[in-house]
Homo-oligomer: A and B are copies of this chain.
Amino acid sequence: MAMLCSYQKMKFKVNNSSDFARQASLELQRGSIQTPAFMPVGTNGTVKGMSVDDLKETGSEIILGNTYHLMLRPGDENIKTLGGLHNFINWDRPILTDSGGFQVWSLGDLVKISEEGVKFSSPYDGKKIFMTPEDSIKIQENLGSDIVMMFDECTDYPTTYENAKSSMELSMRWAARCKKAHKTSSALFGIVQGGIYKDLRQESLNQLLEIGTDGVALGGLSVGESKQEKLEILDFMSDKLPTEMPRYLMGVGKPEDIVEAVRYGIDMFDCVLPTRNARNGQLFTSEGVLNIRNAPYKMSDDPIDANCKCKVCKNYSRAYINHLDRTNEMLGSMLSTYHNIYYYQSLMKDIRNSIKNNLFAKFLKDFYNRRNLDMPEGPT
């Protein structure tokens, strides 16, 4: 692929904006994506219950791969030998890989963190694994990632100012090591830490920009803090994040969380909600969440969402999805996941179109009206 050899850096272009919200194009080594973008999560090298054709049909332009899971099974060196993650899973569009840091952090007491890196045991065979920032970059490069994330420590919540500060500083020292270790033509995103402390967030951002990064992610949010605390950080960051690079809010979220974050200038999102909730019978609709397991749907000939144009809503009734869920049939999860991902991607498309056409204010009004929710205040 000639493009891969000659291509050196990603390109990011803001096409239009509405206050802090913006619609942009992000050109990566394996193609362009339009933002604000939602990235379905492909933990083990598959977005659970979705074929790659299905993913494309829903309008997904980029997916996320989990470094932690893939390094353990089947192993990043094995994936490299098998032609890289894209070839392995038959997905020719961009992939963002996380750094593995968050999943390791989620192991809690089972992980030991030092200046050099993290030590933990494989949950599959108990094997002791030591992982450094350099390892994380190497693993992501073995996978053939298009957007490599810097390895960081997710700051605990709640925690003291001092702990948040030293955790952030460790992450920044690791960020510098990641930058040095990064060799391929993939984009490299840094992660702003600092917990709920604004001056630490500012300091983290300053250091990342000093180190040099192609995009900025906000880490350590949605880990227990209140919605208000999260919004305050988003609000604080909204006029400090550089406008010329993409901004990624990791692990978010519900449709209303995404819409709200777009108002603060966020461009990229990932979350397991649409896939995980689908498998638990929770379906996203234009009017809110519908629990398909509820008894009234057993005989409902209506589609999941009358306003949805996806093939599931065109062809199947709530009664059928309810039946498949009750009988524990794989097709239930397949159809529910397809619908949820389609819903998320349609939402993103509506957001993008509204910003592009200077109609974002109207979009917001409609979005909250349809759900009978008051519109939050937004950026101050």
Give A contacts to B, CB under 8 Å: 44-46, 48-51, 69, 73-74, 78, 81-83, 88-90, 298-299, 301, 315-317, 319-320, 322-324, 326-327, 329-331, 333-335
Contacts and interface: CB of A to CB of B under 8 A. Distances in A.
Contact of A299 (B82, B299, B316, B327): B82
A331 B49 contact: yes
Nearest to A333: B330
Given A82-B317, A88-B320, A316-B90, A330 B334 contact: yes
A228 B270 CA distance: 59
Nearest to A335: B51
Contacts of A298: 74, 78
A330 B82 contact: no
A82 B331 contact: no
Given A81-B299, A330-B330, A334-B334, A323 B44 contact: yes
B88 A331 contact: no
Nearest to A332: B46
Contacts of A315: 90
A18 to B, nearest CB: 38
Contacts of A319: 74, 78, 82, 88
B331 A51 contact: yes
A80 to B, nearest CB: 12
Given A46-B331, A78-B299, A299-B81, A323 B73 contact: yes
A48 B331 CA distance: 7
A83 B317 CA distance: 11
A320 B48 contact: no
Given A89-B320, A323-B74, A331 B299 contact: no
Contacts of A83: 301
Contact of A323 (B45, B81, B331, B334): B45
**Complex A-B, nearest 10 residue pairs according to Cβ-Cβ distance, in ascending order:** A46-B331, A44-B327, A90-B315, A74-B323, A49-B330, A46-B329, A82-B319, A44-B329, A88-B320, A73-B327
